[in-house]
Chain A
Amino acid sequence: TQLLEQSPQFLSIQEGENLTVYCNSSSVFSSLQWYRQEPGEGPVLLVTVVTGGEVKKLKRLTFQFGDARKDSSLHITAAQPGDTGLYLCAGARGGADGLTFGKGTHLIIQP
């Protein structure tokens, strides 16, 4: 079973601060996806990274895929209360058989 380790598990910071969340594995994935989940809802896709070394930006969020396609990071600049949620990374196994999810990072941005 391919495992994805996310760190930190919990993070609570003040509005305006920067933060980085990590997603690591010993396995190579064809792609990595990042989702955000809010209470009472299902996860919603933020971004997919496919190429080793790829960097994608989504407003204040920057996603990076490691050169070896085993790890990824999510960096948030000037965090806002609306960024609060559970952030999940997920690796594609290949084929049609779904994704392997990390356990997630619970992020709380305090006003």
Chain B
Amino acid sequence: DVKVTQSSRYLVKRTGEKVFLECVQDMDHENMFWYRQDPGLGLRLIYFSYDVKMKEKGDIPEGYSVSREKKERFSLILESASTNQTSMYLCASSLPATNEKLFFGSGTQLSVL
């Protein structure tokens, strides 16, 4: 069964901490994405990557960075966590074609105190 795995389901961090959210997919997909999901705001794209070591900004990249050293792994980094980054973070992957479906992980609920 194909899978996108996010390393943590729940995470609690303090303001100012550096936070790493890890995502691994086993489908050999080229494209990987990080979204955040907030009540009333829906899913918003933070960053995406269409190849190893490649990254592109999404709609809300401020305060985040990403790393894609291997095809199967896409990491989201909060350099200095802030309370407004408390959110559900969803990782997804897909094949390169435009209309390809996204496969999502189960999400990481991050709370920044």
Residue ranges of B at the interface with A (Cβ–Cβ < 8 Å) = 4, 9, 30-31, 33, 35, 40-45, 48, 50, 56, 58-59, 90, 92, 96, 98-99, 101-102, 104-107
The answer to whether residues A44 and B50 also contact, given A50-B99, A98-B58, A104-B42 and a CB cut-off of 8 A, is no
Which listed residue, A41, A48, A94, touches B106 by the CB 8 Å rule?
Answer: A41
Q: 5 A-B Cβ contacts within 8 A?
A: A40-B106, A42-B4, A95-B98, A97-B58, A98-B33
Q: Which DSSP category, helix, strand, loop or mixed, fits chain A's interface? A: loop
* Number of interface residues, chain A, beta carbon within 8 A: 27
Q: Which chain B residues border A92 with CB–CB below 8 Å?
A: 98-99
Which listed residue, B58, B101, B104, touches A42 by the CB 8 Å rule?
Answer: B104
The answer to whether residues A88 and B56 also contact, given A42-B4, A42-B104, A94-B98 and a CB cut-off of 8 A, is no
